[in-house]
Structure 1
Amino acid sequence: MQTHQDRILDFAAAGMWWEITQSTKDTHGAFFEAINVLAPGFDAPPLHVHPEAEESYHVLEGTLDVNLNGEWRQLGPGESAIVPAGMTHTLKNAHPVEVRLLNVHKPALGFERFFRRMHALIASGKLTLPPKNFGSLMRLSMLFVEHEKEIKSASPPHGVMRFFAFLGSLLGYKLPG
């Protein structure tokens, strides 16, 4: 049985935390849903795509900056953006107050596992976001490559991530289960 604490993914070092509101198990794989809270000044993750899934953002509080196919736009409370599968995107909070948003990945695929593994790496001190050391770069690359059905980096290119993932494996870096 999952407890409330099992539904919290604290990425505080990166400036965000999530509460899983609908797990992959809850929805029988139809979607994965979480409330994301982004701290003021939260910097954008690398541009990326979800090859086989749609992602959506619905702003509950604050102002969210979303980059869709190279164009930035702002979303305020009550506004949403849908990112179709294969579209390059990222998000950030460049404002002085936190942003709360509902984030959905549909279908769920392995997104929950990807985020839980990233959380475990951050919580154990083996990953910083953005990567600030060699080990973090290796582990993040390995994570992206192991989950390339869910997420692929556009910048840096996925091929670069594949190279670092291969190097990380050769050097004995490991990911959590």
Structure 2
Amino acid sequence: MKEVEKTDSNRILDFAAAGMWWQITKDTKDTNGAFFEAINVLAPGLEGPPQHIHPHAEESYQVLEGTLDFWIDGQWRLVKPGETATVPAGVPHTLKNSHAEAVRLINIHKPALGFERFFRRMHTLIASGKMTLPPKNFGSLIRISMLFVAHEKEIKSVNPPHGLMRFLAFVGSMLGYKLPN
């Protein structure tokens, strides 16, 4: 696997405020849309995203260091270094790091669809201070809902229900909230 140097800032998505750091190893352009790949580092105590599905893509995690807590189809399991977990399209899942050490993993979304844009937009919102994860204020709740709704082909929340996120996204658009390009 090709390692990208940390100095290539276009390939770094620093979600430090949310407890994550990403290094894009294969972007959508590199793979002609076949997949999107990044090394993710998850800080100890990271709660992770809401339970969600990827309607049209498979997601996989290959743990390099640490232990990943991985939830799929209603059950938590541990994924340790050298192990891989794969989520078929349409299957509810989430992850977290409830351990004392960081987790370093390779994360792949296949096909790439608009995942890269989704994560870059999320990075811009977090880095600018306009959104916290988990959402800790009304603006963050509105923006994460708008982001999920704008990328329904890539990701849909299961809990909270996607319908609620659609409603909150509508409220946000009526109040003048905008997402970055």
Q: TM-score, normalised by structure 2?
A: 0.96
Distance 2:126 2:111 in 1: 25
Partner of 1:23: 27
Out of 93, 96, 100, the residue aligned to residue 100 of structure 2 is 96
Partner of 2:44: 40
- 1:44 deviates by 2.5
Q: Encode CA deviations 1:119-169: one digit per residue, 9 max, x unaligned.
A: 000011100001111111111100000000000000000000000000000
Q: How does 1:91-170 map to 2 (within 5 A)?
A: 91-170=95-174
Q: Encode CA deviations 1:87-143: one digit per residue, 9 max, x unaligned.
A: 000001100000000000000000000000000000111000011111111111000
Gaps of 5+ in 1: none
Q: TM-score, normalised by structure 1?
A: 0.98
Distance 2:113 2:134 in 1: 24
Q: What's the secondary structure of 2:62's corresponding residue? A: strand
Q: Look up the equivalent residue of 1:35 and give its one-letter code.
A: I
Q: What's the secondary structure of 1:120's corresponding residue? A: helix
Distance 1:96 1:138 in 2: 31
Percentage of pairs with the same residue: 75
Q: What's the secondary structure of 1:55's corresponding residue? A: strand
Distance 2:161 2:169 in 1: 13
Q: Look up the equivalent residue of 2:138 and give its one-letter code.
A: F
Distance 1:176 1:74 in 2: 35
Aligned-residue RMSD, C-alpha:
0.7
Gaps of 5+ in 2: 1-6
Distance 2:49 2:150 in 1: 18
Q: Look up the equivalent residue of 2:33 and give its one-letter code.
A: G
Between the two proteins, the alignment pairs up a number of residues equal to: 175
Regions of 4+ moved over 3 Å: none
Establish whether residue 79 from structure 1 lines up as the match of residue 67 from structure 2: no
